[in-house]
Amino acid sequence: MKEKLIKNCLLFIITFYNLTAVFSQNIKWQNTVGGNRDEHPFSVELTKNGNYIFGGFSQSNISGDKTENSRGLSDCWIVEIDDSSGEIIWQKTIGGNNRDTASSTKQTKDGGYIIGGYSNSNISGEKSENSRGNDDYWVIRLDSNRNILWDRTYGGNGVDRLWSIIETDDGGFLMGGQSDSNISGDKTENSRGNNNDVWIIKIDSTGNIEWQKTYGGNGSETLSSIIKSNDGGYILAASSTSNISGEKSENSRGFGGDYWIIKIDSSGNIIWDKTIGGDNGDYAQSIIPTSDGNYLIGGEASSNISSEKTENSVCISTDIWLVKINETEM
């Protein structure tokens, strides 16, 4: 699941170029964090106190740095790391009797936390609702003391995986990822192409669905990142293999996927969408706002010079591809 590591690469690149003076790149500290089985991080975020919180999954029981036993095959594992030393400040294991993953973890405005991920566990452990079919979106709300306030499961009869969640200005949350479910469970629209589509859900502060939208074409789409736009809407960074169909307004650029950027208003209506890619596989993983009011997209690309790609692949391999866009010119 290497694709989620691109977000961290982008974060470090932006941090580097914002430094006013760099005298050396000596390692300040490092820490290996884990137990006696596999662990994998999916997101790293800055906390209000200047430390870092990461979320992912763990298969370990109590061992190494792991202080709680596994609930099932894998669990959400949330860890806060001290900025000055790299040491663990606190950690929390959350899961059910099957596979559970935290793919997007953030601190909320009230000092609590929102954890977004996916699960195919039934009621067990910390999971309070049964699976809808296969993997489902799973959202857990913690207070400032890391106590669980509520958890909610959202899904249909297929595979639904949440990759990004953000807090909205009204105290609710907007989440998105991929879904191949048709109308079933919580899903109110059919798949566009019998494959993955982007599935967006807006919930209130207690997890109730306010609206949801499915965006896709005749191929496969996956959302990786959501940010707020400058006008109260949202910008979605996704990847797509579709030609013009469904919500897709431009053809695929070549073999494999393209970056697919979607601007929506506060109710989920599409304002514009843009396909960016070359002649091979290009997959957007993260989008961030820039200081001049524009947006930077980061992902992986194996295309050579073609369509929007202006440089060849290095050594005929997959590279990091950064694209800056101007929202007003889409």
Residue 11's φ and ψ, nearest 5 degrees, are: -60, -45
Rg (CA), the chain: 19
Report the alpha-carbon distance of residue 213 to residue 87 in Å, rounded.
41
Q: With beta carbons less than 8 A apart as the criterion, state whether 318 and 5 touch.
A: no
User: Of 228, 170, 176, nearest to 197 (Cα)?
Assistant: 176
pTM, two decimals, is 0.90
Identity (one letter) of the amino acid at 276? I
Q: Three-state SS for 4?
A: helix
Q: What is the pLDDT of residue 22?
A: 45
Six token digits for residue 223: 């959302």
Bridge partners (DSSP) listed for residue 154: 137
Query: Who contacts 183 (Cβ-Cβ below 8 Å, separation ≥6)?
Result: 156, 189, 190
Q: Would you write out the chain's pLDDT as a tens digit for each of its 330 residues?
A: 444 444 444 443 333 334 344 445 799 999 999 999 999 999 999 999 999 999 999 999 999 999 999 999 999 999 999 999 999 999 999 999 999 999 999 999 999 999 999 999 999 999 999 999 899 999 999 999 999 999 999 999 999 999 999 999 999 999 999 999 999 999 999 999 889 999 999 999 999 999 999 999 999 999 999 999 988 999 999 999 999 999 999 999 988 899 999 999 999 999 999 999 999 999 999 999 999 999 999 999 999 999 999 999 887 789 999 999 987 655
Query: Who contacts 37 (Cβ-Cβ below 8 Å, separation ≥6)?
Result: 58, 59, 60, 61
pLDDT tens for 169-225 read 999 999 999 999 999 999 999 999 889 999 999 999 999 999 999 999 999 999 999
Q: Which residues of 151-181 are buried (b: 16+ CB within 10 A; e: fewer)?
A: bbbbbbebbbbbbbbbbbeeebbbbbbbbbb
> What's the start-to-end Cα distance of the chain, in Å?
31
